[in-house]
Amino acid sequence: MTLETENSTEVEVKTGIDADVRTNGYKHFAEISPFENSSKEFGIEVLSDVGDKISIQTRLSGSIKDWICETSAETVFSKGRIQIDAGEKLVVEKRSFVKTSRDLVSSSDNDLRDIEKLSFEELLGENNKVWEKRWEDSDVVLNGNNYAQRALRVSLYHLLRAHVPNDSRVAIDAKGYAGEAYWGRFFWDTEMYLLPFFTATAPEKARTLVDFRVQSLEGAKQNAKRYGYNGARYAWESDSQGIDCCPNWQYGDHEVHITADVVYGLSYFAHATGDLDYLKDKASEVILETAKYWMERIDINTKTKQPVLLGVMGPDEYKAISNNNFYTNLMVKFALETAASIAKEKKAPESEWRAYEKTAEMLPLLKREDGLYLQCEGFDDLAEPQFEVLWKDRSKPFAAQVSQERLYRSKCLKQADVLMAMYLFPSRFSNEELQKAWDYYLPYTTHDSSLSTAIHAILACRLGKMDESWKFWMTSCGIDLDGGAAEGIHIAGAGGNWLVVVFGYAGLLSPLESETLTFNPRIPEQLQSIEFPLCWRNAKVRGKMSKNIVRIENKGETEIDVTVWTKTKSIKGAEAISWEL
Amino acid sequence: MTLETENSTEVEVKTGIDADVRTNGYKHFAEISPFENSSKEFGIEVLSDVGDKISIQTRLSGSIKDWICETSAETVFSKGRIQIDAGEKLVVEKRSFVKTSRDLVSSSDNDLRDIEKLSFEELLGENNKVWEKRWEDSDVVLNGNNYAQRALRVSLYHLLRAHVPNDSRVAIDAKGYAGEAYWGRFFWDTEMYLLPFFTATAPEKARTLVDFRVQSLEGAKQNAKRYGYNGARYAWESDSQGIDCCPNWQYGDHEVHITADVVYGLSYFAHATGDLDYLKDKASEVILETAKYWMERIDINTKTKQPVLLGVMGPDEYKAISNNNFYTNLMVKFALETAASIAKEKKAPESEWRAYEKTAEMLPLLKREDGLYLQCEGFDDLAEPQFEVLWKDRSKPFAAQVSQERLYRSKCLKQADVLMAMYLFPSRFSNEELQKAWDYYLPYTTHDSSLSTAIHAILACRLGKMDESWKFWMTSCGIDLDGGAAEGIHIAGAGGNWLVVVFGYAGLLSPLESETLTFNPRIPEQLQSIEFPLCWRNAKVRGKMSKNIVRIENKGETEIDVTVWTKTKSIKGAEAISWEL
């Protein structure tokens, strides 16, 4: 801080640390120890309720004199009161050094003295270098629309900020560490909305997210046990140990798709990075233990002898306890298919992987005679939601205007459910099936969840409905920007905003469904072009796409194949190739 | 209290009032004012958190001297310490007078002085007179089985004790005012398990129970409004204003049958007492307002155009959110039939009562092709409960040994559901239908609820399964006697124990289904005979029934018809007639 004055004046400068920090009113600090080495060097050490230690050490320097330091039970403050004469320049520098017992690089011997010789500019430069690299790896350039560019960069900033480098003991919590809602817990957001961005821009960061699920397997086993099952059951709201902390039983008990989503995430990571050994090695226990859980959780219908998955909540959380939810069944099929192949590779008894294969094959995806995939049993016998009568204020969620009881018996959707499944596995469904589901479910969909509009933007794009796609994307981009960030950042929405550009407009095919890097781009008319970096298996490319031309630059050294709208071309290392559309 | 001693000794006597009284830890007293008129006359006045005043005034008399009185913020105690010589006799009398701002007979001017001239024996005599009358009106004599006799009398005692005479501002709470569980709230127990006993033994007491629902209509209207409906919606857990206080949404939101149960209760009372004007007059608003609610709560299936009742919990609370629950639909049919007839009588527009009639007629009772009535849609597609594997300790509820999630997706029943409906409306179902339901549901029924076994005892009796009936009844009789009363009395179970004798063994037909007083008795071999008093419309009878002979004494003055196993006889006033079986 630099102080200058035109007229002589007296200034008080006060700075310090206040350890009275609470989460939703709860105090996590068991012990707080302020300390004072001198009036200009002080700090606080705290011991958290789970035994972690955090210390902040602060030193002041500069030309203000007469500092005094005051400590109380939970604070330490230093202040100086000084006369500045006209034209005089006062510089105050405050340096803080934070270390914790959870630091991956042990800093027990380090302190402020280690950065003593570095100037403020040198320290700032170190920080800038890290951020420059982050932006280089991930920035998406949207030419022709400043609002969209700004909105997307806000999303990217929060994604980059919220990831904890090298630390697989945590993922990214629902509010991107920027708010107290959900108490910092981890949801399916990780796999569905965050992992693709990190896999595509910084695979080493994606790895900490999937490793987080591997390291919290023990918690998932405890969850399974608590519910009376063998195997592993991932938490709807996971703490860092994997234990389910969901305060409302309807989600914690019934939103079981998370356990399949985790396997989807592991598989997505392995295929997107090309590290297929990850599934056989580190992730295999997760895949096999969750399969064990599914085999007990799935019932056999006594009349039809078919496997069924009863009493679940899908992504549409407005159907609390439904049977054979489309999304959940499809994800469980995928998880069991994955488990069968791992069990086979691991030379497990044939009966085991055959059972996984058979259950995956027989678990139903309900389809009406007219070809519509049904969200769950009896979905089309539910009540009409009567939006025109009951949803009076469209600026507020439908759920805020009707009782939960009505939500639970009505056809209203909170977010994509059948459509979410179709978004994830496009090659399993025809365009006609997608169109039918779109036409049926969209009028019933409230988009009350911040996770909804990005997925709809991508699917609208696939169906060639570019105006609708743009509208959905703009809604998604506005969630935090337009006043929704009061309780923290909707970090899944931030990831979703990136998904729209790369899986929607650039039309990237899922690494789970395509060996070759493939784009089917549709650039909305609101944009002149999009530019983005992308990691794909071992390759690294940079794409630039406009309505008429697609240019892919191979940023690596090895030749790669790239397909754009069915035309495959090879690109040598450090070269670029274009497609005219 | 009388003290005598063989050897001289010193005795301390201490007595007083402690107003530190809490309900589940919650303190209902806003102000506590102990007072002391003299060392032998003191008391406490309290003001409750809802503005009620309660005062207790106590006076000591007797030969102990040297009393001193001590008050603290919430207590007042008086004590004396005195030497008693051998052979001496000390008598201490403590008289207390309680008055409250809720007293129906204003006692503002009364106090201890009004009973000054009455001796202890006279006061005790007054109390005894009240209790003699109560027992005379209601005692059931069971010859031949002491355990059953004792158990039933315990139940009758608690029923008689828990009813608050002349006060329709309250009903009888779930724990019979003998425990803190459920916070003193009122459930469907009132209509289903308590009302028949009081109607049959003390109609003026039954009247306060139905009047309670009439006076709490305003609360029911508020409940409806809160859920987004017009009309009246009775509370699953009602406070004295009728407001729903249920802390768990699955019951409060979905166990909507209570609103129809209330109408059933009103109608039951009117038919059993013969006061049919009650329905047209006092109860009519309840009947019509609840019908208004049902007409909004019922949906029309878009495919079949049939009325359906979606998202409900029936008496079997292990199916949290089910569609077209058998019991609920039957009760709603009954409620709408009742509303139609009242609306017709009240000259409401024809369209209104026609709509009630049509909805009542079309609301489905699901029946399988093999004739089984289904508890709800898809019930027989639910998971097998696997009792043999999962219910290891049969001395504890099934629900205590598996997760709620498993309960909710399995065929296990907490208590009678289809069978409960058949118990209430026997003439609507054939014996074959009852038998089929019995055979299907009983193996799935856990009887985890204390409300279950009494109903099964009655139905077993109807099916001629007397041994099963007895076993179920004995289980029901043992609920509180054998250690279940820790949290209060299962007052509905107490009512159920009486139901078994009168509706089971004596085989009384429901006043809703029979104009004539009719018995189809089946006396279990564990009893020689049963004797009971009974009010029926304007008549009063006393029945004595053994395996071979039924004797009915007309305790009134007017001749009445009585049917026993299809043989109808007239009994003149003050006469008795027998049937040989």
Cβ–Cβ below 8 Å for A403 and B303:
no
A30-44, A329-343, B140-154: least confident range: A30-44
Count of CB pairs separated by less than 8 Å, A with B: 79
Separation of CA A6 from chain center: 50
Q: How far is CA B479 from CA A422, A576, B41, B190, B439, in A?
A: 54, 82, 43, 18, 25
| pLDDT tens-digit map of B307-321 | 999 999 999 999 999
If asked whether residues B550 and B435 sit together in one domain, one would say no
**Domain membership flag for residue B117:** no
Q: pLDDT tier at A500 (50, 70, 90 boundaries)? A: very high
* Residue B403, min C-alpha distance to chain A (Å): 6
Q: Mean pLDDT over residues A244-259, rounded?
A: 97
Which of A457, A479, A505 terminates a domain? The answer is: A505
- Rounded to an integer, what distance in angstroms lies between the CA atom of residue A491 and that of residue A188? 12
List C-alpha distances in Å: A388 to A68, A237, A408, B300. Answer: 66, 34, 18, 17
| Residues B496 and B535 grouped into a single domain | no
Taking residues A546-566, report their average pLDDT: 97
Write down the pLDDT at residue B359: 98
Domain assignment present for residue A43? The answer is yes
- What was the pLDDT predicted at B65? 77
Q: How many domains does chain B have?
A: 3
State how far the Cα of B198 lies from the Cα of B339, in Å rounded to an integer. Answer: 25
Set of chain A residues whose Cβ sits within 8 Å of the Cβ of B228? 390, 402-403, 406
**Rounded-to-integer distance, Cα A176 and Cα A80, Å:** 37
In angstroms, the CA B54 to CA B537 distance is: 39
Shared domain check, B539 and B425 = no
The residue assigned the tokens 């469980």 is A332
Q: Are residues A83 and A198 in the same domain?
A: no
Amino acid occupying residue B238: S
- Sign of the alpha-carbon torsion through A301, A304, A307, A309: negative
Same domain, A88 and A217: no
Q: Is residue A15 part of a domain?
A: yes
Distance from CA of B326 to the nearest CA of A (A): 17
Q: The CATH number of the domain where A10 resides is what?
A: 2.70.98.40
In one letter, which amino acid is B355? A
The enclosing domain of B160 has a CATH number of 1.50.10.10
Q: Which of B525, B549, B528 is nearest to B467 (CA)?
A: B525
CA of B342 to nearest chain A CA: how many angstroms apart? 29
Helix B146-162 vs helix B120-138: crossing angle, to nearest 10:
110
User: Would you tell me how many other CB atoms lie within 10 Å of the CB of residue A166?
Assistant: 11
DSSP string over A124-151 = HHHHHHHHHHHHHHH--EEET-HHHHHH
Residue A578 confidence (pLDDT) above 90: yes
CB contact under 8 A, B378 and A380: no
Query: What is the predicted pLDDT for the residue at A498?
Result: 98
The pLDDT, as a whole number, for residue A107 is 62
Domain membership flag for residue B350:
yes
Phi and psi at residue B322, in whole multiples of 5°?
Answer: -120, 165
Q: Domain check: are B84 and B197 in the same one?
A: no
**C-alpha span between A27 and A180 (Å, rounded):** 12
Distance from CA of B306 to the nearest CA of A (A): 11
Please state the length of chain B.
581
Q: Complex ipTM, two decimals?
A: 0.92
Residues A94 and A175 in one domain: no
- Lowest-pLDDT range, A97-106, A130-139, B335-344? A97-106
Query: Average pLDDT, stretch B446-466?
Result: 97
pLDDT (tens digit per residue) in B103-162: 988 766 677 877 888 999 999 999 999 999 999 999 999 999 999 999 999 999 999 999
A108 pLDDT more than 70? no
**Boundary residue ending a domain (B103, B130, B159):** B103
What is the structure's pLDDT at A2?
85
* Residues B160 and B279 occupy one common structural domain: yes
Q: In B, what residues contact A, Cβ < 8 A?
A: 226-228, 249, 253-254, 299, 301-303, 308, 310-311, 320-321, 323, 377-378, 380-384, 390, 402-406, 408-409
| pLDDT above 90 as % of chain A | 89
- Our CA-based measurement puts residue B122 at a distance from the nearest CA of chain A, in whole angstroms, of 58
Range of the domain at B11: 2-103
User: Is residue B195 pLDDT above 80, yes or no?
Assistant: yes
A552 belongs to a structural domain: no
Cα B308 to Cα B333: distance, rounded to the nearest angstrom: 11
Q: What is the pLDDT of residues B356-382, one digit of tens each?
A: 999 999 999 999 999 999 999 999 999
Which residues in chain B touch residue A298, judged by CB atoms under 8 angstroms apart?
none
**Percentage of residues in chain B having pLDDT higher than 70:** 99
A454 domain residue, yes or no: yes
**Neighboring chain B residues of A301 at a CB cutoff of 8 Å:** 381
Report CB contact under 8 Å: A403, B301: no
B192: pLDDT confidence band, cut at 50, 70 and 90?
very high
Residue A413: strand pairing partners:
A445
Say what angle helices A491-499 and A452-462 make with each other, to 10 degrees: 10
- Domain presence at residue A566: no
- Beta-bridge partners for A410: A383
Chain A residues touching residue B403 (CB < 8 angstroms): 226-228, 253
A interface test, pick of B296, B298, B310 with most A CB neighbours within 10 Å: B310
In a shared domain, residues B424 and B484: yes
Select from A458, A488, A505 the last residue of a domain. A505
Cβ–Cβ gap B405/A311 under 8 Å = yes
DSSP B481-541: IIII-TT---HHHHHHHHHIIIIIIS-BPPTTT-SSEEE-----TT-SEEEEEEEETTEEE
DSSP letters along A61-90, please? EES----EEEE-SSEEEEEEEEEE-TT-EE
| B514, part of any domain | no
Co-location of A376 and A496 in the same domain = yes
d(CA B258, CA A277): 59
Beta carbons of A299 and B227 less than 8 Å apart:
no
Domain co-membership, B536 together with B488: no
Q: Which two tokens stand for residue A325?
A: 């939810």
The mean of the pLDDT values for chain B is 95
B494 and B533 housed in the same domain: no
